[in-house]
A and B are shown apart, each in its own frame.
Chain A
Amino acid sequence: MSPVENLAEVLVDVEDQRSVFEDHIRQSFGDEIARVSKLPLMERYRYVAWMIDNGRKHGVKHTREPRGVTE
């Protein structure tokens, strides 16, 4: 078996082992979120907080108008 064929086989194995959930996260939210989703819980929260703080630094306003009912 050539190295290329060998690599192809390995990649197929990796595809098979990856869960449908992992595929969904990667395809719907991208590689970065897929990576973050595998971190320990508090690290995930830390990442989310970093995104929010970063947005705020760059002028993203966070306003939450109360509606009396939740969608």
Chain B
Amino acid sequence: MGHFEIIEFYLDLVRRAQERGIRCAITSGMACVAFEIAESTKDCDLLCDPEMADKFLALLAESPLGDSPCQYRGNLSPPLDGRWLKGGWTSHFEWPGTEAFLDVFGIAPRARSSWFEGTSAIYAHPHVVADMKRTGRDKDWPFLTGLGVKLVEGGDPRGWLHVYDEDRMADLLVKHPEIPTAIIESRPLLRMLMDGVPGLAAALRLERTFWMDLSKLRVREYEKPLRPYLAAVRKASAGKKLSLLEDHQLRVACAEAHLPLHPLSPDILNAMIASARTSALMGMTPDMACWLPNVIPNFTLLIPGLQSPA
């Protein structure tokens, strides 16, 4: 099966989900292609409203690709259940014998606003996709800048939050000299750009390193409870040939016993932030810390009870 057929299958799956009233949107690489940044992306990342996870699971159960039925990918995948999706877990699916892979999540990592507010499109908003691209992988950052530039040029000043290239920033500022105060408050290093303060390139490197470290620490926190869950799923499913829905029930039972609903608490996040700050500032003068952003708004959707400092 050629990969274009797989892409068409993903698009059709999302269209059918939306026709059934399931709030969902394609994000990450496939969305970047839609936003005119061609990326060689093989899998489909999908945001799905956690309250509609059961409906989406039912759709997957009746959506084979060719002769291949959908199934969970590996024993490590958490169940597609709103309780875990709300806590930031990702459910992984595949269609065996094909190269179709689907990752479903309910909360867009690091997104400052709910991804489904005001959108009925097949793709998540570029502002949300950009926040999700703020990962620990170097390869994602040029995409982040591209999305930011595209937003600014399209009249959405939130794009200024996502540009990590000094030259692009300078070019943008010539054409779009007004940056709203609220945006500058969210990203202090924009003040350096506006006022021509030297050291912008270093501040951009610092902020990027900080975000990358924070992303790696977040993933590590989720990986901690996965080992007992993996062992339980492996043991419970050994020697069984399960349908997707049977496998799902098994995983829910294992998750109820081993997988915390919310791996990140405010205390854990604050410790992660402190660690990422220290690590990013290594080799820099301590006063550079003032250019780092307050990232609490990027986690308020994920962590119940989290509030920005007054």
Query: Which of A's residues lie within 8 Å of B, judged by CB?
Result: 19-21, 23-25, 28-29, 33, 36-38, 41, 44-53, 55-56, 62, 64-71
Contacts and interface: CB of A to CB of B under 8 A. Distances in A.
Interface string B51-89: 000000000000000000000011011100000000011
Contacts of A56: 3, 99
Contacts of B171: 20, 23
B197 interface: no
Contacts of A51: 40
Contacts of A45: 4, 7, 33
Interface centre among B2, B73, B218 (most CB of A within 10 A): B2
Nearest to A70: B90
Given A21-B153, A23-B171, A45-B33, A70 B38 contact: no
B74 A20 contact: no
B77 to A, nearest CB: 5
Given A53-B2, A64-B73, A68-B226, A21 B150 contact: yes
Nearest to B146: A24
B153 A68 contact: no
B149 A20 contact: yes
A25 B146 CA distance: 7
B209 interface: no
A71 B136 CA distance: 7
Contacts of A55: 40
A44 B38 contact: yes
Interface in B1-43: 2-4, 6-7, 33-34, 36-43
Contacts of A24: 142, 145-146, 149, 165, 168
A67 B135 CA distance: 15
B109 A48 contact: no
A67 B152 CA distance: 34
- Contact count band on B: 35 or more
A36 B33 CA distance: 10
Given A20-B168, A48-B41, A69 B222 contact: yes
B142 A71 contact: no
Contacts of B74: 65-66
Among B4, B142, B150, chain A packs the most CB atoms within 10 A around the CB of B4
Contacts of A28: 142, 145-146, 165
Contacts of A21: 36, 146, 149-150, 153
B92 interface: yes
Given A24-B168, A45-B4, A68 B150 contact: no
Contacts of B76: 66-68
Contacts of B215: 71
A37 B77 contact: no
Given A20-B168, A23-B171, A66 B73 contact: yes
A50 B42 CA distance: 11
B184 interface: no
14 contacts: A19-B153, A20-B152, A21-B150, A23-B171, A24-B149, A29-B37, A29-B142, A41-B34, A55-B40, A56-B99, A62-B42, A66-B76, A68-B226, A71-B219
B145 A67 contact: no
Contacts of A19: 153
Contact of A52 (B3, B37, B105, B229): B3
Contacts of B136: 71
